[in-house]
Amino acid sequence: MIEIKEAYNRCEEIIAANSKSFYKAFSLLPKEKRKAVWAVYAFCRTVDDIVDEGTNPVLELEEFKRSFQQFLAGFYDRDNAMWVALADVFENFQMDEEAFHSLIKGQEMDLVISRYETLDDLMDYCYHVASCVGLMLLPILAPGKKAVLQEGAVSLGYAMQITNILRDIGQDLKIGRIYLPKEIMQKHGLTEIDLQQGDVNGAFVSVWEELAGEAERYYRHSFETIHEYPLQSRMAVKGAGLVYREILSAIRDKEYMVFREKHYVSDQSKQAILACL
Ligand SMILES: CC(C)=CCC/C(C)=C/CC/C(C)=C/COP(=O)(O)OP(=O)(O)O
Rounded average pLDDT over 188-203: 96
In a domain, residue 101? The reply is no
Q: Whose CA is nearest to atom 18 of ligand 1?
A: 19
In a domain, residue 98? The reply is no
- Residue-level pLDDT at 35: 98
Closest C-alpha to 184, from 159, 219, 211, 146: 211
Residue 276 scores a pLDDT above 90: no
148 & 241 share domain: yes
- Residue-level pLDDT at 202: 97
Rounded average pLDDT over 24-47: 97
pLDDT band at 229 (very low <50, low <70, confident <90, very high): very high
- Give the tens place of pLDDT for each residue, 138-149: 999 999 999 999
- What's the 22 CA to ligand 1 centre distance in angstroms? 7
Domain edge (last residue) among 92, 118, 144 = 92
In a domain, residue 99? The reply is no
In a domain, residue 39? The reply is yes
Find out whether the beta carbon of 242 lies less than 6 Å from any atom of ligand 1: no
DSSP 258-274: -SS------HHHHHHHH
86 & 111 share domain: no
Q: Whose CA is nearest to atom 20 of ligand 1?
A: 19
pLDDT band at 236 (very low <50, low <70, confident <90, very high): very high
4 & 122 share domain: no
Find out whether the beta carbon of 237 lies less than 6 Å from any atom of ligand 1: yes
AA identity, residue 222 = S
- What's the 183 CA to ligand 1 centre distance in angstroms? 26
Q: Give Cβ neighbours of residue 91 (< 8 Å, ≥ 6 apart).
A: none
Q: Whose CA is nearest to atom 23 of ligand 1?
A: 19
- Residue-level pLDDT at 192: 97
In a domain, residue 211? The reply is yes
DSSP the chain: ---HHHHHHHHHHHHHHH-HHHHHHHTTS-HHHHHHHHHHHHHHHHHHHHHHH-SSHHHHHHHHHHHHHHHHTT---TT-HHHHHHHHHHHHS---HHHHHHHHHHHHHHHH----SSHHHHHHHHIIIIIHHHHHHHHHHSTT-HHHHHHHHHHHHHHHHHHHHHHSHHHHHHTT---S-HHHHHHHT--HHHHHTT---HHHHHHHHHHHHHHHHHHHHHHTTGGGS-HHHHHHHHHHHHHHHHHHHHHHHTTT--SS------HHHHHHHHHT-
- What's the 83 CA to ligand 1 centre distance in angstroms? 20
> How many angstroms separate the Cα of 75 from the Cα of each of 9, 35, 150, 218?
22, 22, 30, 38
114 & 248 share domain: yes
Find out whether the beta carbon of 161 lies less than 6 Å from any atom of ligand 1: yes
Reported ipTM: the value is 0.96
The percentage of the chain sitting over the pLDDT mark of 90, rounded to a whole number, equals 96
- What's the 156 CA to ligand 1 centre distance in angstroms? 9
Closest C-alpha to 145, from 227, 262, 84, 203: 227
- Residue-level pLDDT at 91: 98
Residue 182 scores a pLDDT above 90: yes
In a domain, residue 235? The reply is yes
- What's the 247 CA to ligand 1 centre distance in angstroms? 12
> Higher-confidence residue: 149 or 260?
149
Rounded average pLDDT over 193-200: 95
Rounded average pLDDT over 247-258: 96
- Residue-level pLDDT at 234: 97
- What's the 245 CA to ligand 1 centre distance in angstroms? 11
- Give the tens place of pLDDT for each residue, 89-133: 999 999 999 999 999 999 999 999 999 999 999 999 999 999 999
Q: Whose CA is nearest to atom 6 of ligand 1?
A: 134
pLDDT band at 54 (very low <50, low <70, confident <90, very high): confident
Task: Please state, rounded to an integer, the average pLDDT across all residues of the chain.
Answer: 97
Packing angle, helices 31-53 and 81-92, rounded to 10: 130
44 & 162 share domain: no
- Residue-level pLDDT at 125: 98
Q: Which atom of ligand 1 is nearest to the CA of 237?
A: 3
Residue 29 belongs to domain spanning = 1-92
Find out whether the beta carbon of 57 lies less than 6 Å from any atom of ligand 1: no
- Give the tens place of pLDDT for each residue, 73-88: 999 999 999 999 999 9
- Residue-level pLDDT at 252: 97
State how many domains the chain has. 2
